Amino acid sequence: MQTRTFSLLALSKGLVKSVLPEPILANLQLWRFARAPHAAIARAQWQRDQQDRRDARVTELKCQSMRGVRVNVGCGPNPTAGWVNLDISRRHPAVMYWNCAKGLPFNDGTVEAIYSEHFFEHLNYQSEAKHFLRECLRCLKPQGVLRIVVPDAGEYLRLYATGDWSGLSAKRPLIKEGDHYRDCGLPAVYKTRMEFINSVFRQDGEHKYAYDAETLLLALREAGFSDVSETTYNISCDPNMAADTPWRKTDSLYVEGRGS
């Protein structure tokens, strides 16, 4: 029988990872980081990755046993009381760690309602957003409600087309300082209206897609949601829906759909 030997470097690079159990691979990865020029940074990243995996597993185990829950997806440091709150942020003890861009940790048909405020625009439209909508539909009970809140790109473009700052500054709102406009929500000052549009739509690369009502409604329909409609601030077909954030009222688009 032919036997093979592998160098430690080859093992650490994953060239033969298929023949080794995961704990050994993890140790080899850490060894490789320790030899890197920026070893301290690499070790810290490795430790964060390990913590993320542990926390995600804890969240998954908890959520798979839940029934009839309401879920706030991508809530950041602002959880909704009485709801299951998911985010990659660890800035609030009531938030459970989970990367919602990859899917949801619940069993089929176990969720009463899903709320998502200013998270959906952070997903890549083709590879993440469409998958996320299908995941929401999978987890929701029949007639369960999904509410999505995003920046209203369509309204911003209509106001941009008027040729002046008045509508844009009121919608954000913006503070006029001489010939410039200061953003109330971002650390930014705009000299031109297109600078402002890029800042709102792109968010330094954090925003992946801009939505108007037509596009967002279509995305929900194509994912399989029924009774899809545009609504307004704090108006929902679900009387127990999570409350919308007041300071986002002026520049947000509100859309809902029911699970089939």
| Whether pLDDT at 7 is above 70 | no
Domain with CATH 3.40.50.150 in the chain: 67-152+211-258
Mean pLDDT of 90-106: 94
Residue 119: predicted pLDDT: 97
Torsion angles phi and psi, residue 60, rounded to 5? -60, -45
Residue 47: predicted pLDDT: 86
Residue 235: predicted pLDDT: 98
Mean pLDDT of 62-78: 96
CB 112 within 8 A of CB 241: no
| Whether pLDDT at 82 is above 80 | yes
26-54 tens-digit pLDDT: 665 655 655 556 777 888 888 888 999 99
| Whether pLDDT at 259 is above 50 | yes
Max CA pair span of the chain: 82
Measured CA to CA, the distance from residue 108 to residue 163 in angstroms comes to: 49
Contacts of 231 (CB under 8 A, 6+ apart): 237, 254, 255, 256
SS3 92: coil
CB 23 within 8 A of CB 34: no
| Whether pLDDT at 258 is above 70 | yes
Torsion angles phi and psi, residue 54, rounded to 5? -65, -45
> Does CATH place domain 67-152+211-258 in 3.90.1170.50?
no
Contacts of 29 (CB under 8 A, 6+ apart): 12, 46
CB 126 within 8 A of CB 244: no
> Percentage of the chain with pLDDT > 90?
78
Confidence of residue 186 (pLDDT cuts 50, 70, 90): confident
Provide the mean pLDDT of the chain: 89
Mean pLDDT of 123-128: 96
- Tell me the CB-side half-sphere exposure of residue 113, using CA atoms within 13 A: 19
| Whether pLDDT at 16 is above 90 | no
Confidence of residue 100 (pLDDT cuts 50, 70, 90): very high
Measured CA to CA, the distance from residue 165 to residue 156 in angstroms comes to: 11
Confidence of residue 12 (pLDDT cuts 50, 70, 90): very low
Residue 157: predicted pLDDT: 97
For the purposes of burial, counting CB atoms within 10 Å of the CB of 191, is it exposed (0-12), middle (13-18) or buried (19 or more)? exposed
